[in-house]
Structure 1
Amino acid sequence: MDTGASQIDWNSHNDFFKFTRGRFIVEEAENARKREIRFDMNSLARVAAQSGGAARCIAIEKYPDGMFNKAFLITMDNGQEAIAKIPNPNAGIPHSTTASEVATMDFARKFLETPAPPKSHPVGAEFIIMEKIEGVPLSQLQVLLAMTPVRNSGFAIGPATGRDWCDAGRSDLDVDKGPWASLTQYLQAVGTREVKAIQSLEPPKTVALFCGPKLYRPDTENKLTALAWYQQTVDALIPKDAAITRPCLWHNDLHDDNVFVDPQNPGEITGIIDWQSCHISPLFNHNPDPAFLDWDGLEPETLDLAPRPGLSGLSPEERSAAVQEYSLQNVFIAWRKLMHAKNPDLYRVVEFRRTATYGLIFLAHRIFEYSEAHFQSLLIERIKLDSDGAVAGTELVTEVKEKMGDLWPDKGFIEHERYNDCKADLDEVKGLILEQLAETDEEKAEYERYWPFG
């Protein structure tokens, strides 16, 4: 923290402009360059003072660097405090990213009644000054946006500013960034964007997997082939459930430093910060689980709570770790149970995100970096799954034909005198199929829909 009178030259503090939270192991010079930005801190301090009705700024404290922004706590001579946020060069599309964040906070506060930071002021195109919200981060005490349709002429949907449209140099691509008239157009645009990135950008090194002989080797032709397959299958990948395909505004980064609560009443949220890159996209594209739940273990297969761990024979440290894991897992499962009961549409997103179809959509968004091999493998598995299903369906028909004999309605036709017996046998067959194969009401309804016999 630096304090003093108005004659202080805030621009002399070099650490204000550099990434100082740590060092990068991967491509350090390039990663540091993308997170260093020079601006006039003296002018920013003056604007902050004016916005707070003060004469001058008396203190500036830099918060720990974010990966895409710098934030400063600015204290004025009248005691007021403000937060100044400056996007790094890697934050996203110039102007659009900042303008979108300001508009999103305004929209969330006014129409969704979400406690976002108040009175945001864009300074130029690449600065935001906002009042410091009350409360403390949830992380010091140890959700979600309403899916409500809103129509207001004061707001309009602009070009996409989500991270997948900005990362690894994508923000510089001359591609269609929307808005789009349909889900198909949106998903096709993702594929076109990845093709353009592969053709015109240098792929970044990734810590997601090691590369080299006998391991994965990035291959431009394989990437383009995978995207060609993706473009051909987009329509088949789109889920039929309109509840999970409708566009929604979502905060995808609800970790416990972005949620502020009243320290005297921790159940009351006083503010949610970091709305940068929050975007409107299909509900299934958003992570339904807030990050502050802090569970990174296996996806629970059911909504049953996990059994208590056996603690006998464990050291105190092992016992503490087991209890901690048990607690985190059951809090996560309890969240999912609450979601299932209170917001079934969102729980259907959880179910869809377990499927190979969602995996293909997800991987297509990142083929430029590394995921073409996973995409191709998953697509082949899905084709084999469909093929196996078709073979199983054909074999089932053969079994039924053998069982029914002359009562089987070949080509859907049966004589008058055998009609009732045929119908009775077919009804029995359908009952057995539903009993043995349909695990949910949805699956039962699907079997009913495809059943060929009236």
Structure 2
Amino acid sequence: MDFARNVLDTPVPRVYSWNSQAKSHPVGAEFIIMDKVEGVPLSQIWGTMKLPQKLQVLLALTRLQKQWLSVSFSHYGSLYYTGDMPPPSGNYYVKDGKTVRDSEFAIGPATGRDWVDAARSVLDVEKGPWTSLTQYLQAVGTREMEAIQSLKPPKQTALFCGPKLYRPDTEKKITALAWYRQVVDALIPKDAAITNPCLWHNDLHDDNVFVDPHNPEKITGIIDWQSCHISPLFNQNPDPAFLDWNFLEPETLDLAPRPKLSGLSPEERSAAVHEYTIQNVFIGWRKLMLAKNPDLYRVVEFRKTAAYGLIFLAQRMFEYGEAHFQSLLVDLKDTWADLPAVSNDMPFPFDFSEEDIERIKLDSDGAVAGTELVAEVKERLGDLWPDKGFIEHERYDDCKSALHAVKGQILEQLTETDEEKAEYERYWPFE
């Protein structure tokens, strides 16, 4: 937060005191004392803002991201004070082309969410810092392999699992990671602008962004920095979550046409206008990004590739992803020679049999069906969907009741025997 406020010129609360060691402090607890952010959460007024005001908020955020892009680091990892973490050899950051070597900040072991979620924090694995992107990505594979082999697999909400869908498989996860290690060097893009180590805020939802209620175009503060880390730019989220984009990646930056409202009911009109607004605000955001922060837009382009898909899935292999990963890798054979890091004489390193391909396709189809079922349930529950497994206290009973009803419908739709029903019960994540 100190670095974000004073180096990245970002409105962040000033921290006055903190303690991370409960046992060694008279208070007997961890704590942090900081300024209260001025303004109100964007969630309170985004829905009532006019389109020009929304575009001004996006323009202000574009300026902030430009400041984040102006700084890169010597290592991948997380940020510390030098008094708490001796800096590694060659520790520095670069701002606007100028190298800063003897600062109060040091780059140390990674503390990003993917290094601590689902009990990963207890793993005895290398956590950096790393000067090489290859070392960093290989360490991710090692971390996921260790998690798969030593931790209890978590229930997750990315896809529903069971008979007629996909069942998580430890051996397939291990195989996928072994394949990942063989191809990871070929997946790394050559564009240094999107591989540079950058510090970023990846969770810009509408309760983390504060604005001036009398001048809502002005961002007064950004909170929730605890999991921010120094990662290759292509691993950072280019889009703010408050845009509520749940559609496919747009193929062009053309604005969506006005919806035809004649013959629609009032509810259907409202839904059509709402969807039209969300689509064009998002396209407007991407147009601003392309114009103001083209390096960040190149991240958007890279994220459309199979190479990024494989890197992304490998980072969460412990929880999910092996079916999609293996399917993507089979398809990669057709575009292998087009990867920037692949030389003309470098053959595709795998020889899949027809039987392998058929099995991988069936697994992928089952996983896709599981994710589509989650999307269907999420849409049906609306605001009652427990994002990340959490729901507000006052809506807990309604959420629990809605999930119970949906679960009954899924079991009736997909199960034929008591054994199948028991298996779906075992995989059901909301208990």
TM over 0.5: yes
- Say which is worse superposed, 308-317 or 377-386, in terms of deviation: 377-386
CA contact (8 A) 1:135 1:261 kept: yes
**Residue 185 of structure 2 corresponds to residue 263 of structure 1:** no
1: CA distance between counterparts of 2:285 and 2:214?
A: 24
1: CA distance between counterparts of 2:116 and 2:271?
A: 38
**Per-residue CA distance 1:173-202 (angstroms, 9 max, x = gap):** 011111101100000000000010011001
| Correspondence list, 1:411-450, <5 A | none
**Aligned residue number for residue 277 of structure 2:** 327
**Per-residue CA distance 1:379-413 (angstroms, 9 max, x = gap):** 00111344899xxxxxxxxxxxxxxxxxxxxxxxx
**Residue 21 of structure 2 corresponds to residue 139 of structure 1:** no
**Residue 187 of structure 2 corresponds to residue 237 of structure 1:** yes
Choose between structure 1 and 2 for higher RCO, CA contacts under 8 A separated by at least 6 residues. 2
Query: 158, 180, 197: which is aligned to 2:130?
Result: 180
1: CA distance between counterparts of 2:336 and 2:116?
A: 35
Residue 325 of structure 1 aligns to which amino acid in structure 2? Answer: E
1:215 CA drift (Å): 2.5
| Correspondence list, 1:177-216, <5 A | 177-216=127-166
| Correspondence list, 1:92-241, <5 A | 105-125=1-21, 126-142=30-46, 143=61, 144-145=64-65, 146=67, 147-149=69-71, 150=95, 151=100, 153-241=103-191
Where structure 2 has 5 or more consecutive residues not aligned to the other structure, the ranges are 22-29, 47-60, 72-94, 340-431
Query: 316, 325, 332: which is aligned to 1:382?
Result: 332
Root-mean-square deviation (Å):
1.7
CA contact (8 A) 2:42 2:207 kept: yes
Secondary structure, aligned partner of 1:122? strand
1:366 CA drift (Å): 0.8
1: CA distance between counterparts of 2:338 and 2:16?
A: 56
1:298 CA drift (Å): 2.1
Secondary structure, aligned partner of 2:324? helix
**Per-residue CA distance 1:96-119 (angstroms, 9 max, x = gap):** xxxxxxxxx000111111000113
Secondary structure, aligned partner of 1:243? helix
Between Structure 1 and Structure 2, whose CA radius of gyration is higher?
Answer: 1
Residue 113 of structure 1 aligns to which amino acid in structure 2? Answer: D
CA contact (8 A) 1:288 1:346 kept: yes
Residue 123 of structure 1 aligns to which amino acid in structure 2? Answer: N
**Per-residue CA distance 1:148-185 (angstroms, 9 max, x = gap):** 22335110112111111111110110111111011000
Secondary structure, aligned partner of 1:157? strand
CA contact (8 A) 2:233 2:299 kept: yes
CA contact (8 A) 2:15 2:32 kept: no
**Aligned residue number for residue 298 of structure 1:** 248
2: CA distance between counterparts of 1:165 and 1:116?
A: 24
1: CA distance between counterparts of 2:200 and 2:337?
A: 37
**Aligned residue number for residue 350 of structure 1:** 300
Residue 148 of structure 1 aligns to which amino acid in structure 2? Answer: S
CA contact (8 A) 2:110 2:229 kept: yes
TM-score, length-normalised on structure 1?
A: 0.61
Secondary structure, aligned partner of 1:269? strand
Secondary structure, aligned partner of 2:177? helix
**Aligned residue number for residue 431 of structure 1:** none
1:323 CA drift (Å): 0.6
1: CA distance between counterparts of 2:39 and 2:164?
A: 53
- Say which is worse superposed, 111-120 or 310-319, in terms of deviation: 111-120
**Per-residue CA distance 1:63-110 (angstroms, 9 max, x = gap):** xxxxxxxxxxxxxxxxxxxxxxxxxxxxxxxxxxxxxxxxxx000111
**Per-residue CA distance 1:115-159 (angstroms, 9 max, x = gap):** 001134213433212121111111111224321223351101121
Residue 168 of structure 1 aligns to which amino acid in structure 2? Answer: A
Residue 131 of structure 1 aligns to which amino acid in structure 2? Answer: D
**Residue 315 of structure 2 corresponds to residue 365 of structure 1:** yes
- Give the direction of change, closer, same or farther, for the CA distance of 1:352–1:309 in structure 2 (3 Å limit): same
2: CA distance between counterparts of 1:172 and 1:120?
A: 30
Secondary structure, aligned partner of 1:325? helix
2: CA distance between counterparts of 1:388 and 1:336?
A: 26
Where structure 1 has 5 or more consecutive residues not aligned to the other structure, the ranges are 1-104, 390-454
Secondary structure, aligned partner of 1:251? coil
